[in-house]
Amino acid sequence: MDVTIVDELFTNLGDPGKFQMVSYFFLVTNMIFALATHLNVVFYAAKTPHHCKLDMNQTLQDFVPLVRHNLKYEEQIDGCHVYTALNSSETEPCRNGWTYGLKHGEKTIISEFNLVCDDAYKSELATTIYFGGVLVGSLTYGFLADKYGRKPTLAFAQLSAGVLGFAIFIFRNYYAFVILRFFLGIQVQAFILLSFVLAMELFQTKHRARAGVFFGIVAVSGGVVLGILAYFIRDWKYIQLTLSFFPFIQLLFLCFVPESPRWLIVHKQFDKVEKIVHRIVSFNNLPYPEQVMQGIKNNSSQYQTTPGQKATVLDLFKSPSLRRTTFILIIIWFTVSAAFYGLAFNISFLFGDKYVNFAISEAVDMCAVVLMFWAVPRFGRRRPLTLAFFICGMANVIAVVTITIESDATWVKVLGTATALLGKSCAVSVLNALTTFTAELYPTVIRNISLGVNTAWTRIGGMLSPQIFLLGAYTATYVPYCILGVISLTSAFLILLLPETHNKSLMDTIDHVRKEVVEMRDDDGESSQMVEEKEALFHEESSV
């Protein structure tokens, strides 16, 4: 089916219409719960001061040693050892547990499950396992949504997420926490993936960029909601309880949203398409586009696949164009996730108050995403993404410098905190625009699969981000920032190798990709070898 016919249908349904805007609102608000759940470890596993629990006749000054971490700044209390006797220099591990220095009724999973000393790694491990669940969600929900539809798959994920959220509150055990969070991560990824795809497939080409980037603005508001809850509640268990109500509210909203007309057209369910179109035009007070619908039915044969074949993940690699695009996006998605989540999870360990730092971080995030929202429709996708990645990389480089000079000056510590927060904000602006860019680079028949596979590498980045900063605890504090700086600057260059998708119609089949490649002229001075490669690509036998 000609892509322009489908676009013409959406033009006749509103520009955009009220129905699409209401549906979009109900879908985009899923991001509040999704990002709040992704980032809640900032407070669940916040820096938790502790020392060995002392007997009644023992004092902190006499029995707890002082240590200097990373050979810089002031001495700190040793949280894992006590002196064996008064005036003794010999130490031993804590025998009676720990005392935690949390204020104002704060409770973290670290204080709840005693994740300190020899078990300190379990805090980062819990986050890594959670993002392992998100990774599984990336790989599975894309296929499920392409096979069974966007809406029913999203509804199942919302119901499951609500149940799992309450279970985390009820079962207060570390292993239960980790296992339940793993399965919650699977569902949260469905919130992001399916809400975005379903929303994008409701809009015309000219509205896609703003619709996609606005997802990022709402996602940032999820961080704001989390920050407000954390500031007033302070106890991780009750923050979790509050968040658990969100999926059930979103499930009620989903009743209004229709199945994706694009998905129904691709699967030739024209009766359902007609019902949805009637519903939309009735809501928007528009005439029914009879001729356009007839044209879509007449061209339906172009959606037929080779007998016995269905779209699979292998289709992302079968042509040179798709293969290059997929490999580049894998690196970029990994980088942006590692940078964003790594810097976010480390907020409570930065200089300053964690609530103030988080509030400043969310404010800067909002500014960065709004700026990207403004820039993408005007300058295309590649240039704003490249600039944001470059700033993220340089911010991490400056953070490395502030650490290596080993200064106790307050301005140096503030600069280190500021650059870390700036790097996080640039990463989140890339993350939101990159979703739109990725969706535009692939045709409808493999769009969900492509988003699932590419964002799977985002989850690998999320899984490794706490381990990257844990590496800094065993080597040097600047190592994580050095790693993030190098891969961010590399990604800034790789984005320039991708095609621009600004003001281009969404492709529906892999054959459309081939035609798009052949029709591209060498306006940018392409070599004859490049043109020949494109022509050869078009003449390859279609796999879908």
- Asked whether the predicted pLDDT for residue 291 surpasses 60, the reply is yes
The pLDDT score that the predictor gives to residue 302 is 58
The pLDDT score that the predictor gives to residue 505 is 61
Torsion over CA of 518, 520, 526 and 529, rounded to 10 degrees? Answer: 0
Average pLDDT over residues 266-272: 83
Least confident of 34-38, 79-83, 456-460, 507-511: 507-511
User: With bands split at pLDDT 50, 70 and 90, how would you rate the model's confidence at 306?
Assistant: very low
Of the chain, the percentage scoring pLDDT greater than 90 comes to: 34
User: With bands split at pLDDT 50, 70 and 90, how would you rate the model's confidence at 172?
Assistant: confident
- Asked whether the predicted pLDDT for residue 529 surpasses 80, the reply is no
Q: How far apart are CA 136 and CA 130, in angstroms?
A: 10
Average pLDDT over the chain, rounded to an integer: 83
**Full DSSP string of 430-455:** HHHHHHHHHHHHS-HHHHHHHHHHHH
Q: How far apart are CA 219 and CA 214, in angstroms?
A: 8
The pLDDT score that the predictor gives to residue 483 is 94
Burial class (CB in 10 A: 0-12, 13-18, 19+), 474: exposed
Average pLDDT over residues 103-109: 89
CB 344 within 8 A of CB 354: no
Residue with the bigger pLDDT between 314 and 140: it is 140
- Asked whether the predicted pLDDT for residue 305 surpasses 50, the reply is no
Domains and CATH numbers, the chain: 1-48+102-304 (1.20.1250.20), 51-100 (no CATH), 311-527 (1.20.1250.20)
The 10s digit of each residue's pLDDT in 220-242 is 889 899 999 999 999 999 999 99
Question: At residue 504, what is the residue type?
Answer: K
The pLDDT score that the predictor gives to residue 541 is 36
The 10s digit of each residue's pLDDT in 31-87 is 999 999 999 999 999 888 888 888 887 878 778 888 766 545 566 788 888 888 887
Of 126, 194, 173, 109, the residue nearest 462 (C-alpha): 126
Q: How far apart are CA 189 and CA 183, in angstroms?
A: 10
CA angle 302, 303, 309 (to 5 degrees): 125
The pLDDT score that the predictor gives to residue 177 is 96
- Asked whether the predicted pLDDT for residue 425 surpasses 50, the reply is yes
Q: How far apart are CA 490 and CA 470, in angstroms?
A: 23
Q: How far apart are CA 515 and CA 512, in angstroms?
A: 5
Average pLDDT over residues 239-259: 93
